[in-house]
Each structure stands twice: as C-alpha cells, then as structure tokens.
Amino acid sequence: QVKPEFEKSANLVCGLFTLIIYRTQVVAGVNYFMKVQTSENEYVHLRVFKGLPHANEGPSLVRFQTGKTRDDPLDYF
C-alpha cells in the first residue's frame, strides 16, 4: 500500500517491490520496519506507521533508506 508513496518520495519507479523481512514496534499504533527488494541487487528499508483501528487510517510511509543490501541489518531508524 505504500509503494506509490515511496516511489514519489524517492523519485523512483520500482518494477519489483517484494517484502523480504519486517519487524514491528508497538507505539500508539504500530511501526513496521521493512526490508523491500526493489531490483535484482537493490534493497530499501521502510518505516511504515499504522495507527490504531479507531483512527480509521491506512498505513503511511514515515521514513526510508535506500542503498541497502540483502545482508544489511534491519534496525530502528
């Protein structure tokens, strides 16, 4: 759901957008830290926030990091 938001923010068009791994952090909702493959050898890390159900809002892209590899650890950022 955040692919269009990421592509616009990063000024990229991703033919591939595959979730590799994710972690969660419970706050006033949930932060999702995601490693996404965007091409054969390129990866990005995304932080996506999903509010509590009563907020009735979809997930939103908070931050992202480009230039990642498959082996880079998925840490808080």
Condensed to tens digits (0 to 9), the pLDDT of residues 33-43 reads 999 999 999 99
Q: Is residue 74 part of a domain?
A: no
Condensed to tens digits (0 to 9), the pLDDT of residues 15-31 reads 999 999 999 999 999 99
Burial of 42 (0-12, 13-18, 19+ CB in 10 A): middle
Give the global pTM.
Answer: 0.90
Report the CATH number at residue 62. 3.10.450
Total of domains in the chain: 1
Give the residue numbers spanning the domain of 48. 1-68
pLDDT value of position 53: 84
- One-character DSSP codes across 3-21: HHHHHHHHT---S--EEEE
pLDDT value of position 47: 98
Q: Is residue 76 part of a domain?
A: no
